[in-house]
Structure 1
Amino acid sequence: MTLMFCAFLGDPLILRTYGNATVVHPRDEEWKELASLFPDHAGARNIFTLEIDLVTTSCGTGVPEMAVVRSRGETDLEPWYADMGERAVEAFWEKKNTVSLDGQPTGIFES
């Protein structure tokens, strides 16, 4: 997995981390322990662990300057999932999230 961080304000900079990732779903044994490390979010469906083996930087002069207007997660997404309730969220995921953008199974409902 590669994570790319871009500076949208201030000095231009791009930072990339490279490594091997694993995904943990709510059905997995590790979920409870790992999820406890984060704030509780309605609709949380996976946690990625990344073992980083390379970090690089580049100039970032091609990245445009941008400003954050607001966080939609706190005002739109979180309340929407919370109002649905756990069973409705799972039904929504089953309808919308069983196949990735490239047509591969997501494994979200496998045991």
Structure 2
Amino acid sequence: MGKFYESIPPELVPWILKQEMFWVATAPLSSEGHVNVSPKGVRDCFHYLSPTRVWYQDLTGSGVETISHIRENGRITLMFNAFEGPPRIVRLFGTGTVHEFGTREYEELIPPEQRRPGSRAAIVVDVHKVGSSCGYAVPYYEFRGHRQALLDFFISRERADQNDEAAHAAKGLKAYWEEKNMRSIDGIPALQAAPKAAGVPSCTDVMKRAEASINGNVPVRANGSALSVKTGRSVERRRVEELVFAFALGVAVAAVYVRFVGVA
């Protein structure tokens, strides 16, 4: 049976932070407008601040519906669901606030060393209701790793702006924002400050992290546990498998020794 809470229960926080993706739903006020649902799946973009406040780092995409809808009416719902273990769906109902790249609020939430390539805003959600339900119909899926394509694409866009004297290259991030992210598909205004920001941050650190992911280095989850990007297996699980292999190898060697050499 579904349960509702006025804030995020403490026992749900570790589970929420463990999820590798979540969904964001918003809608315009017009009955003829398009309801939007967006999946979010880049690690360490979601953050928990308190039982009634969370935020996530909004990365650039070809659409900008969430920002447009929040600017118009503030309504937003975040949904998490379990793909492994016991079934569960959790929805965070709230009111959103957009802090664009180039604003003081954005910089306070996202220091340069934590900014991901293509990051355009911080979306803060003030939660007024939480819904938890069974999720019995959600199938099992095995997590194998995060895609690198979006980060790679916007690394190249940010490099273009970095190499341009005006920090506004024709193939840069700001030009992309101006082309794709100024209005929703219903014509509602979206980005305002980001395309006009004085510069773009150096993406040296984020490029190193992205390249480390490509090379198979182990990143860290928001809850502190490590996970292999390439295989999707936890480091703890890999260690157990290595110990099992070592034990099996030892047994095999001992058997061969007893058979051909004998026991003293």
Instruction: Please say whether Structure 1 and Structure 2 have the same fold, judged by a TM-score greater than 0.5.
Output: yes
Residue matched to 1:103: 187
Single out whichever of 31-40 and 94-103 deviates more from structure 2. Answer: 31-40
What 5-or-longer segments of structure 2 have no aligned partner?
1-75, 162-167, 197-264
**Structure 1 consecutive aligned stretches of length 4 or more whose deviation exceeds 4 Å:** none
1:10-60 CA distance string (max 9 Å, x none): 111001111111010013221111112982212100111111121120010
What 5-or-longer segments of structure 1 have no aligned partner?
none
Instruction: State the number of aligned residues.
Output: 108
Match runs of 1:52-63 below 5 Å: 52-63=127-138
The one-letter code of the counterpart of 1:89 is: L
Cα gap change, 1:82/1:32 in structure 2, threshold over 3 Å: closer, same or farther?
A: same
Say which one has the larger Rg.
Answer: 2
CA deviation after TM superposition for structure 1 residue 90, in Å = 0.8
Q: Does 1:82 align with 2:152?
A: no
- Distance (whole Å) between structure 2 residues aligned to residue 16 and residue 38 of structure 1: 30
SS at match of 1:30: helix
Residue matched to 1:30: 105
Query: 1:93 aligned to 177, 198, 223, which one?
Result: 177
CA deviation after TM superposition for structure 1 residue 7, in Å = 0.4
Identity value in percent: 32
- Distance (whole Å) between structure 1 residues aligned to residue 113 and residue 130 of structure 2: 24
- Distance (whole Å) between structure 2 residues aligned to residue 104 and residue 64 of structure 1: 36
Residue matched to 1:5: 80
SS at match of 2:93: strand
Q: Which fold has the larger relative contact order, with Cα–Cα distance below 8 Å and residues 6 or more apart in sequence?
A: 1
- Distance (whole Å) between structure 2 residues aligned to residue 57 and residue 38 of structure 1: 34
- Distance (whole Å) between structure 1 residues aligned to residue 113 and residue 90 of structure 2: 23
Cα gap change, 1:18/1:81 in structure 2, threshold over 3 Å: closer, same or farther?
A: same
- Distance (whole Å) between structure 2 residues aligned to residue 37 and residue 90 of structure 1: 17
Query: How does the TM-score come out when normalised to structure 2?
Result: 0.38
Single out whichever of 94-103 and 1-10 deviates more from structure 2. Answer: 94-103
- Distance (whole Å) between structure 1 residues aligned to residue 144 and residue 188 of structure 2: 34
In terms of fraction of residues, the more helix-rich structure is 2
